[in-house]
Structure 1
Amino acid sequence: MAWVYLCIAILLEEAGTTSMKLSEGFTRLLPSILLLIFYVGSLGFLTLTLKTIDVSVAYAIWSGMGILIITCIGVFYFGESFNTLKLLSIILIILGVITLNFTVEHEKASSEQVTEGK
Protein backbone atom coordinates (compact mmCIF):
# COMPACT_ATOMS: atom_id res chain seq x y z
CA MET A 1 0.00 0.00 0.00
CA ALA A 2 2.94 2.33 0.62
CA TRP A 3 3.76 2.44 -3.09
CA VAL A 4 0.17 3.47 -3.86
CA TYR A 5 0.46 6.23 -1.25
CA LEU A 6 3.71 7.35 -2.85
CA CYS A 7 2.09 7.52 -6.29
CA ILE A 8 -0.79 9.56 -4.89
CA ALA A 9 1.69 11.86 -3.11
CA ILE A 10 3.55 12.41 -6.40
CA LEU A 11 0.36 13.18 -8.34
CA LEU A 12 -0.87 15.59 -5.66
CA GLU A 13 2.51 17.33 -5.60
CA GLU A 14 2.34 17.79 -9.36
CA ALA A 15 -1.19 19.17 -9.08
CA GLY A 16 0.06 21.55 -6.38
CA THR A 17 3.00 22.73 -8.48
CA THR A 18 0.76 23.23 -11.51
CA SER A 19 -1.67 25.19 -9.32
CA MET A 20 1.29 27.26 -8.11
CA LYS A 21 2.01 28.30 -11.69
CA LEU A 22 -1.69 28.96 -12.36
CA SER A 23 -2.04 31.04 -9.18
CA GLU A 24 0.16 33.74 -10.74
CA GLY A 25 1.89 34.56 -7.47
CA PHE A 26 -1.20 34.00 -5.29
CA THR A 27 -3.17 36.57 -7.31
CA ARG A 28 -5.79 34.04 -8.46
CA LEU A 29 -7.94 32.66 -5.64
CA LEU A 30 -8.95 29.17 -6.83
CA PRO A 31 -5.49 27.99 -7.93
CA SER A 32 -4.04 29.45 -4.70
CA ILE A 33 -6.48 27.46 -2.57
CA LEU A 34 -5.93 24.31 -4.65
CA LEU A 35 -2.17 24.73 -4.28
CA LEU A 36 -2.47 24.50 -0.49
CA ILE A 37 -4.91 21.58 -0.60
CA PHE A 38 -2.77 19.58 -3.03
CA TYR A 39 0.46 20.15 -1.10
CA VAL A 40 -1.09 19.23 2.24
CA GLY A 41 -2.50 16.08 0.64
CA SER A 42 0.83 15.26 -0.97
CA LEU A 43 2.74 15.61 2.28
CA GLY A 44 0.09 13.58 4.09
CA PHE A 45 0.41 10.67 1.68
CA LEU A 46 4.21 10.98 1.69
CA THR A 47 4.08 10.70 5.49
CA LEU A 48 2.02 7.49 5.21
CA THR A 49 4.57 6.17 2.72
CA LEU A 50 7.39 6.68 5.21
CA LYS A 51 5.84 4.14 7.58
CA THR A 52 7.25 1.33 5.43
CA ILE A 53 9.60 2.83 2.81
CA ASP A 54 12.95 4.37 3.79
CA VAL A 55 12.86 8.16 3.71
CA SER A 56 15.88 8.31 1.38
CA VAL A 57 14.13 6.16 -1.21
CA ALA A 58 10.64 7.63 -0.86
CA TYR A 59 11.83 11.23 -1.01
CA ALA A 60 14.17 10.54 -3.93
CA ILE A 61 11.36 8.94 -5.91
CA TRP A 62 8.87 11.65 -4.89
CA SER A 63 11.16 14.47 -5.92
CA GLY A 64 12.68 12.72 -8.95
CA MET A 65 9.35 11.72 -10.45
CA GLY A 66 8.05 15.15 -9.57
CA ILE A 67 10.79 16.77 -11.61
CA LEU A 68 10.14 14.46 -14.55
CA ILE A 69 6.38 14.99 -14.55
CA ILE A 70 6.47 18.74 -13.93
CA THR A 71 9.01 19.14 -16.73
CA CYS A 72 6.59 17.40 -19.10
CA ILE A 73 3.73 19.59 -17.88
CA GLY A 74 5.88 22.67 -18.31
CA VAL A 75 6.90 21.77 -21.84
CA PHE A 76 3.60 20.41 -23.16
CA TYR A 77 1.06 22.52 -21.24
CA PHE A 78 2.85 25.78 -20.50
CA GLY A 79 5.01 25.80 -23.64
CA GLU A 80 8.34 25.98 -21.81
CA SER A 81 11.55 25.31 -23.71
CA PHE A 82 13.20 21.90 -23.75
CA ASN A 83 16.79 21.18 -24.70
CA THR A 84 19.47 18.54 -24.50
CA LEU A 85 20.76 19.75 -21.13
CA LYS A 86 17.30 19.42 -19.55
CA LEU A 87 16.94 15.93 -21.02
CA LEU A 88 20.37 14.87 -19.74
CA SER A 89 19.60 16.28 -16.29
CA ILE A 90 16.32 14.35 -16.08
CA ILE A 91 18.06 11.15 -17.17
CA LEU A 92 20.68 11.63 -14.45
CA ILE A 93 17.96 12.18 -11.83
CA ILE A 94 16.18 8.99 -12.88
CA LEU A 95 19.44 7.03 -12.83
CA GLY A 96 20.17 8.39 -9.36
CA VAL A 97 16.76 7.29 -8.07
CA ILE A 98 17.17 3.82 -9.57
CA THR A 99 20.68 3.47 -8.12
CA LEU A 100 19.51 4.64 -4.70
CA ASN A 101 16.67 2.12 -4.74
CA PHE A 102 19.02 -0.74 -5.66
CA THR A 103 21.47 0.33 -2.94
CA VAL A 104 18.77 0.26 -0.26
CA GLU A 105 17.47 -3.11 -1.46
CA HIS A 106 21.02 -4.50 -1.40
CA GLU A 107 21.55 -3.19 2.14
CA LYS A 108 18.29 -4.79 3.29
CA ALA A 109 19.21 -8.13 1.73
CA SER A 110 22.67 -8.00 3.33
CA SER A 111 21.26 -7.23 6.78
CA GLU A 112 18.71 -10.04 6.44
CA GLN A 113 21.50 -12.49 5.62
CA VAL A 114 23.47 -11.37 8.67
CA THR A 115 20.37 -11.75 10.87
CA GLU A 116 19.69 -15.25 9.51
CA GLY A 117 23.32 -16.26 10.02
CA LYS A 118 23.18 -15.62 13.79
Structure 2
Amino acid sequence: MDGKSCLLRAICEVHGQPLHHYGFLGEILKLFFTASKSPFAEILEEYVAAERTGQGDGECWPYYKDCPKSLFLANNNKYSEDAVHMDEEQENENEIDSRTSKVMLDSSELNTQFM
Protein backbone atom coordinates (compact mmCIF):
# COMPACT_ATOMS: atom_id res chain seq x y z
CA MET A 1 0.00 0.00 0.00
CA ASP A 2 1.12 3.48 -0.82
CA GLY A 3 1.71 5.53 2.34
CA LYS A 4 0.89 8.89 0.77
CA SER A 5 -2.35 7.57 -0.72
CA CYS A 6 -3.38 6.12 2.64
CA LEU A 7 -2.66 9.43 4.35
CA LEU A 8 -4.77 11.25 1.76
CA ARG A 9 -7.59 8.76 2.32
CA ALA A 10 -7.31 9.16 6.10
CA ILE A 11 -7.45 12.97 5.82
CA CYS A 12 -10.54 12.74 3.62
CA GLU A 13 -12.27 10.24 5.95
CA VAL A 14 -11.54 12.27 9.09
CA HIS A 15 -13.14 15.34 7.53
CA GLY A 16 -15.99 13.38 5.96
CA GLN A 17 -17.34 11.99 9.24
CA PRO A 18 -18.35 13.84 12.40
CA LEU A 19 -15.93 12.95 15.19
CA HIS A 20 -17.68 14.74 18.05
CA HIS A 21 -18.72 11.45 19.67
CA TYR A 22 -15.05 10.44 19.91
CA GLY A 23 -14.36 13.30 22.33
CA PHE A 24 -10.74 14.16 23.02
CA LEU A 25 -9.37 11.51 20.66
CA GLY A 26 -11.59 12.77 17.84
CA GLU A 27 -10.34 16.31 18.33
CA ILE A 28 -6.72 15.15 18.23
CA LEU A 29 -7.36 13.16 15.03
CA LYS A 30 -9.05 16.10 13.37
CA LEU A 31 -6.24 18.46 14.37
CA PHE A 32 -3.54 16.02 13.22
CA PHE A 33 -5.24 15.42 9.85
CA THR A 34 -6.04 19.09 9.08
CA ALA A 35 -3.51 20.18 6.48
CA SER A 36 -5.17 23.54 5.82
CA LYS A 37 -4.19 24.78 9.30
CA SER A 38 -0.52 24.11 8.64
CA PRO A 39 1.81 27.05 7.92
CA PHE A 40 2.92 24.97 4.92
CA ALA A 41 -0.62 24.57 3.52
CA GLU A 42 0.32 26.08 0.16
CA ILE A 43 2.91 23.35 -0.49
CA LEU A 44 0.59 20.62 0.86
CA GLU A 45 -1.96 21.11 -1.92
CA GLU A 46 -2.90 17.42 -2.28
CA TYR A 47 -3.48 17.09 1.46
CA VAL A 48 -5.61 20.24 1.60
CA ALA A 49 -7.58 18.95 -1.41
CA ALA A 50 -8.24 15.64 0.39
CA GLU A 51 -9.42 17.59 3.44
CA ARG A 52 -11.79 19.69 1.31
CA THR A 53 -13.11 16.59 -0.45
CA GLY A 54 -14.03 15.12 2.93
CA GLN A 55 -15.59 18.37 4.12
CA GLY A 56 -17.56 18.81 0.90
CA ASP A 57 -19.46 15.73 -0.11
CA GLY A 58 -17.54 13.26 2.06
CA GLU A 59 -16.98 10.99 -0.94
CA CYS A 60 -13.48 9.62 -0.41
CA TRP A 61 -13.73 6.82 -2.97
CA PRO A 62 -11.14 8.40 -5.34
CA TYR A 63 -8.50 7.47 -2.74
CA TYR A 64 -9.62 3.83 -2.45
CA LYS A 65 -7.81 2.63 -5.58
CA ASP A 66 -4.31 3.33 -4.23
CA CYS A 67 -5.23 2.62 -0.60
CA PRO A 68 -7.81 -0.17 -0.27
CA LYS A 69 -7.72 -0.29 3.56
CA SER A 70 -9.12 2.39 5.84
CA LEU A 71 -7.32 3.40 9.00
CA PHE A 72 -10.65 4.00 10.70
CA LEU A 73 -12.97 1.23 9.52
CA ALA A 74 -12.74 -2.19 11.07
CA ASN A 75 -11.84 -5.04 8.78
CA ASN A 76 -15.22 -6.67 8.22
CA ASN A 77 -14.93 -10.10 6.75
CA LYS A 78 -16.53 -13.44 7.40
CA TYR A 79 -13.44 -14.73 9.22
CA SER A 80 -13.33 -12.00 11.85
CA GLU A 81 -14.12 -12.88 15.44
CA ASP A 82 -17.37 -10.90 15.41
CA ALA A 83 -18.53 -12.60 12.23
CA VAL A 84 -17.86 -16.04 13.72
CA HIS A 85 -19.77 -15.04 16.86
CA MET A 86 -22.70 -13.83 14.75
CA ASP A 87 -22.72 -17.12 12.83
CA GLU A 88 -22.89 -19.07 16.11
CA GLU A 89 -25.83 -16.97 17.30
CA GLN A 90 -27.65 -17.56 14.04
CA GLU A 91 -27.05 -21.31 14.27
CA ASN A 92 -28.37 -21.32 17.83
CA GLU A 93 -31.53 -19.54 16.68
CA ASN A 94 -32.09 -22.17 14.00
CA GLU A 95 -31.73 -25.14 16.35
CA ILE A 96 -34.82 -26.84 17.72
CA ASP A 97 -35.24 -26.37 21.43
CA SER A 98 -35.79 -29.87 22.81
CA ARG A 99 -37.38 -28.53 25.98
CA THR A 100 -40.25 -26.89 24.14
CA SER A 101 -40.67 -29.14 21.09
CA LYS A 102 -43.34 -31.75 21.09
CA VAL A 103 -43.29 -35.12 19.44
CA MET A 104 -46.53 -36.81 18.55
CA LEU A 105 -46.46 -40.61 18.79
CA ASP A 106 -49.15 -43.01 17.91
CA SER A 107 -49.73 -45.48 20.77
CA SER A 108 -49.41 -48.43 18.39
CA GLU A 109 -45.92 -47.26 17.41
CA LEU A 110 -44.95 -46.91 21.04
CA ASN A 111 -46.04 -50.47 21.83
CA THR A 112 -44.15 -51.98 18.91
CA GLN A 113 -40.94 -50.13 19.76
CA PHE A 114 -40.74 -51.39 23.33
CA MET A 115 -41.86 -54.98 22.75
What's the TM-score once normalised by structure 2's chain length? 0.31
Query: Computing the radius of gyration over CA atoms, which structure comes out larger, 1 or 2?
Result: 2
What's the TM-score once normalised by structure 1's chain length? 0.30
